[in-house]
Amino acid sequence: MLIENLYNEILVNPIVDNEVNELYIVSGYASATFLRRHIHEIESLGIEDFRINLIVGMPSKKSDHNAFLQIHEDYENNVKGYYYNGNVPVHSKVYSWLNKENPIFGFSGSANYSQYGFFSNKQVNQMNVDNPAEIKAFYDSLLNNSIYIPDTVVEENVLERIPKIEGSILPGQISWIEADKSVRISFLQANGILPARSGLNWGQREEKRTNRLTGEVTYIQREPDQAYLSIKKDARKEDFLPEKGFTFSMLTDDDKVMDCVVAQDGRKGVQTTDDNSELGRYIRDRLNVPHGTFLTVEHLEEYGRTDFTLIKIDDETFLFDFSVEN
């Protein structure tokens, strides 16, 4: 029985050590952000020829559907995901690795295909070595009652969860709409100023570089669109945001998707994982200013809002609202 280092044992080591290249998964619950994290892990190993096939067995909540769609668009040659649509939900958590259609390694147990299944200290999971051919056959048996994710029409609209907002909260403050579920956070410092070298202007500074051999100090201009959401006060707590280092899908009120992570000392920031400039470019597009612009409080006031709303949909999915009343 496996109870430690499940992520590497089940999802990484087989493709590193044994030349398998295709993974078949049936998981009661699965998260898009974990799928993206797993893909990045495999890519970091220099492996390009791989495919992850996933059936989500209990897709009653499709809150991160747009994130799954984005992954299928970004990795169309590497991912094929389905929602199970049979009469009875499938709670299974099984994994089968194949090499050119030959089943090689199989695992089953209690770990869902998610960060909380494979990483979190908040739950203990176990996996067992199992028959990979039988797992693959089980996967195949569910396909007739499964819908390809890009072909799925989702009726639930997470945007309906955005509360009506009026004006902006006070500089430097937060305001809980629903405890540990949704909060408004000011972009501004308590003095009413937008930080000049952090938050939305994180990239508007030079980075100090020291040559270890010569001791020479140089300053390199950062990419000016680099940005993070400054998380203030008790909005930083783990009862609301994920554990530091856990990724999550951040949906936006205008239907965009960003993969994000809690970062910075003291859990004070939320930033995008793939490219630290992605959030900064997005905000500047919303403000209708050129990329690279040094942002000021006047830009936010002209837009009509100096704060944002962050809504927890589930542990690995959040909704970012920066909408204004017309």
Residues 83, 231 within the same domain? no
Structure tokens at 263: 């970062």
Residue 111 belongs to a domain: yes
Residue 19 belongs to a domain: yes
Residues 204, 234 within the same domain? yes
Residues 210, 297 within the same domain? yes
Among residues 117, 151, 185, which one ends one of the domains? Answer: 151
Residues 108, 253 within the same domain? no
Q: What is the pLDDT of residues 31-59, one digit of tens each?
A: 999 999 999 999 999 998 999 999 999 86
The chain-wide mean pLDDT, for the chain, equals 92
Among residues 127, 151, 175, which one ends one of the domains? Answer: 151
Residue 158 belongs to a domain: no
Structure tokens at 150: 């890009």
What's residue 75's pLDDT?
Answer: 96
Residue 159 belongs to a domain: no
Summarize the confidence of residues 264-278 as an average pLDDT: 93
Residue 71 belongs to a domain: yes
pLDDT > 70? residue 86: yes
Q: What is the pLDDT of residues 148-181, one digit of tens each?
A: 999 998 876 777 778 888 889 999 999 999 999 9
Residue 238 pLDDT grade (very low, low, confident, very high; cuts 50, 70, 90): confident
Residues 105, 223 within the same domain? no
Domain count, the chain: 2
Determine what percent of the chain is predicted with pLDDT higher than 90: 75
What's residue 2's pLDDT?
Answer: 86
**Helix, strand, coil fractions of the chain, as percent rounded to 5:** 25, 30, 45
What's residue 219's pLDDT?
Answer: 65
Instruction: Give the CATH number for residue 135.
Output: 3.30.870.10
Residue 156 belongs to a domain: no
Residues 169, 316 within the same domain? yes
Strand order in the sheet with 22-27: 127-130, 102-109, 93-99, 22-27, 51-56, 79-84, 146-148
What is the residue-wise DSSP string for 145-183? GEEEGGGPPP---GGGGPPP--S-PPTT-EEEEETTTEE
Range of 102's domain?
A: 6-151
More confident: 68 or 123: 68
What's residue 155's pLDDT?
Answer: 73
Summarize the confidence of residues 195-215 as an average pLDDT: 83
pLDDT > 80? residue 280: yes
pLDDT > 70? residue 242: yes
Residues 170, 316 within the same domain? yes
Residues 307, 226 within the same domain? yes
Residue 218 pLDDT grade (very low, low, confident, very high; cuts 50, 70, 90): low
Determine what percent of the chain is predicted with pLDDT higher than 70: 96
Count each helix (H run) and each strand (E run) in the chain, helices first: 8, 17
Structure tokens at 237: 């707590």
Residues 137, 198 within the same domain? no
Which residues, at least 6 apart from 18, have a Cβ–Cβ distance to it below 8 Å? 97, 99, 104, 105
Rounded to the nearest 10 degrees, the angle between the axes of helix 32-44 and helix 65-74 is 30
Residues 274, 181 within the same domain? yes
Residue 145 belongs to a domain: yes
Residues 98, 51 within the same domain? yes
What's residue 245's pLDDT?
Answer: 83
pLDDT > 80? residue 220: no
Residues 144, 22 within the same domain? yes
Separation CA 55–CA 76 (nearest Å): 16
pLDDT > 90? residue 137: yes
Summarize the confidence of residues 71-84 as an average pLDDT: 96
Among residues 128, 151, 174, which one ends one of the domains? Answer: 151
Separation CA 250–CA 25 (nearest Å): 24
pLDDT > 80? residue 315: yes
